């Protein structure tokens, strides 16, 4: 069987591209052939040259503007099973306007949480429930070929005897990195390793961290200040899991913003590292339960209280890792791929 995946951000630094790459690997592990189309002209050419058994389109509002109708029209003409993955849902402004075209065709839809289903249903044009499926984010499987945590700590200059709190992901305002910085600076018995990469759509967010926290910034991509290390260069994909394993706990202190509902892929990457993970109680993490420690909000005070619990309570850390391990085993990318095949009617 052959599947065509549509991803406008393919080949760029983007969470949707990362999701597509992981899903593609999951599909190919099941013996399927896959191709990826990026632009309407690319899609038209691939459909002209080859027959496909199904099409999977990755949707995020900012990836599609005037090309959305072109892509949907081309797919409709192909007359093969068609699934659109809505990586976030929003019923406001120009984003809701896209629903007029997305929801009027024959596509089936995938979202990552029940919260996203509820958010979609606010729109009166929302597809019927039998056309919407929930498939949580997949988790990677890190194997034994990763470099050791000790080696990563040596590279990064992190003391082996210290309890290190990590953050990994794009720098964005809603991730409340300055509040994490403030919470860590108030706890000198902890070390913080914050790897906040500049997002192509918001490169100034990294500068905002330094400005809001009044931190000095070096000319390099790494800055050390008291018990903090801030880095901004992308981590090689093959070493990402090793970097996460090099810290003692991972914190994702996101806040909710606007009326958009989406799911954090980074939280699934984090729990797959089998390190205790702390998040806030916002929709980004609504598909996770006792796999993570959830704090009330993203204030420095709440973050600080959560950090103290993680540091002091070894039993809590063990329970989080045990629960995460069970979740990871049940949520591999081949498992996600099988669920997509079921929706396409190809299982």
Q: Is residue 302 part of a domain?
A: yes
In-domain check, residue 143: no
CA distances from 291 to 98, 149, 268, 307, 319 (A): 34, 22, 10, 16, 8
Q: Are residues 118 and 165 in the same domain?
A: no
How far is Cα 138 from Cα 72, in angstroms, rounded to an integer? 26
Do 118 and 156 lie in a common domain? no
Q: Which residue has the tokens 């990195």?
A: 177
Clarify whether residues 309 and 252 are in a common domain.
Answer: yes
Q: Are 306 and 295 in contact (CB under 8 A)?
A: yes
pTM: 0.93
**Phi-psi sector, 303: left (phi>0), alpha (psi -120 to 50), beta:** alpha
Q: What is the number of other CB atoms lying within 10 angstroms of the CB of residue 347?
A: 10
Confirm whether 237 is domain-assigned: yes
| 186 and 85 both lie in a single domain | no
Cβ-contact 191, 224 below 8 angstroms: no
Q: 163 and 79 in one domain?
A: no
- Give the span between the Cα atoms of 228 and 317, in whole angstroms: 22
Do 114 and 25 lie in one domain? The reply is yes
**311 plus 338 within the same structural domain:** no
Specify the pLDDT at position 198: 86
User: Are 179 and 296 found together in one domain?
Assistant: yes
Burial level of 59, CB count in 10 A (0-12/13-18/19+)? buried
Q: Tell me how far apart the alpha carbons of residues 322 and 189 are, in angstroms, rounded to a whole number.
A: 26
What was the pLDDT predicted at 144? 61
Looking at the structure, tell me whether residues 269 and 310 fall in a common domain.
yes
Q: Which residues of 97-119 are buried (b: 16+ CB within 10 A; e: fewer)?
A: ebbeebbeeebbbbbbbebbbeb
Domain that holds residue 42: 2-138+332-344
Number of Cβ within 10 Å of residue 241's Cβ equals: 21
Look at the block and give the residue holding tokens 């390793």: 193
User: 107 and 83 in contact (C-beta within 8 Å)?
Assistant: yes
State the total domains in the chain. Answer: 2
Distant-in-sequence, close-in-space partners of 240: CB < 8 Å, separation ≥ 6: 168, 269
**∠270-170-162 over CA atoms, to 5°?**
50
DSSP 33: E
* pLDDT for res 200: 72
Confirm whether 110 is domain-assigned: yes
Query: How many angstroms separate the CA atoms of 347 and 341, rounded?
Result: 5
Residue with tokens 């503007």: 65
The answer for residues whose C-beta is within 8 angstroms of residue 317's C-beta and 6 or more apart is: 249, 276, 310
Residue 88 and residue 192 share a domain: no
CA separation for the pair 198, 71 (Å, rounded): 29
265 found inside a domain: yes
Q: Is residue 167 part of a domain?
A: yes
Cα–Cα dist 211/231, whole Å: 15
In this structure, the answer to whether residues 68 and 208 fall within a common structural domain is no
CA distances from 39 to 23, 86, 98 (A): 19, 18, 17
Q: Give the CATH number, domain containing residue 115.
A: 3.40.50.2000
In the structure encoding, which two tokens stand for residue 84, read together?
């659109």
Rounded Cα–Cα distance for residues 231 and 337 (Å): 34
Is there a domain that residue 177 lies in?
yes
272 lies in some domain: yes
pLDDT tens-digit profile, the chain (347 residues) = 999 999 999 988 889 999 999 999 999 999 999 999 999 999 999 999 878 999 999 999 999 988 999 999 999 999 999 999 999 999 999 999 999 999 999 999 999 999 999 999 999 999 999 999 999 999 998 766 678 889 999 988 999 999 999 999 999 999 999 999 999 999 999 999 999 998 777 778 898 999 999 998 877 788 999 999 999 988 888 889 999 999 999 999 999 888 899 999 999 999 999 999 999 999 999 999 999 999 999 999 999 999 999 999 999 999 999 999 999 999 999 999 999 999 999 98
Q: Are residues 179 and 122 in the same domain?
A: no
């Amino acid at each position: 069987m052959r599947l065509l995946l549509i991803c406008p951000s393919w080949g760029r630094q983007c969470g949707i591209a990362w999701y597509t790459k992981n899903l593609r690997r999951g599909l190919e592990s099941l013996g399927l052939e896959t191709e990826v189309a990026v632009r309407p002209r690319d899609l038209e050419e691939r459909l002209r040259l080859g027959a496909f058994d199904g099409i999977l389109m990755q949707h995020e509002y900012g990836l599609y503007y005037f090309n959305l109708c072109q892509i949907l029209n081309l797919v409709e003409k192909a007359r093969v099973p068609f699934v659109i993955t809505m990586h976030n849902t929003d019923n406001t402004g120009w984003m809701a306007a896209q629903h007029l075209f997305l929801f009027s065709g024959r596509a089936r839809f995938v979202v990552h949480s029940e919260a996203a289903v509820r958010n979609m249903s606010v729109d009166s044009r929302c597809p019927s429930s039998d056309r919407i499926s929930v498939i949580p984010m997949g988790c990677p499987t890190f194997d034994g070929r990763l470099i050791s945590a000790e080696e990563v700590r040596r590279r990064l200059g992190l003391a082996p005897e210290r309890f290190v709190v990590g953050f990994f992901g794009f720098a964005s305002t809603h991730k409340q990195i300055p509040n994490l910085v403030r919470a860590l600076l108030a706890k000198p018995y902890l070390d913080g390793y914050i790897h906040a990469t500049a997002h192509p759509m918001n490169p100034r967010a990294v500068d905002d961290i330094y400005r809001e926290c009044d931190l000095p910034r070096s000319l390099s991509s790494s800055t050390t200040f008291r018990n903090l290390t801030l880095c901004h260069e992308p981590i090689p994909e093959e070493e990402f899991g090793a970097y996460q394993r090099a810290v003692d706990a991972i914190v994702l202190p996101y806040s909710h913003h606007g009326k958009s509902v989406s799911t954090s892929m980074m939280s699934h990457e984090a729990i797959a590292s089998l390190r205790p993970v702390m998040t806030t109680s916002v929709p980004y993490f609504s598909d996770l339960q006792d796999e993570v420690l959830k704090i009330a909000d993203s204030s420095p005070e709440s973050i600080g209280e959560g950090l103290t619990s993680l540091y002091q309570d070894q039993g809590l850390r063990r329970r989080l890792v045990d629960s995460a391990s069970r979740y990871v085993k049940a949520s591999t990318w081949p498992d996600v791929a099988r669920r997509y095949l079921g929706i396409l009617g190809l299982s």
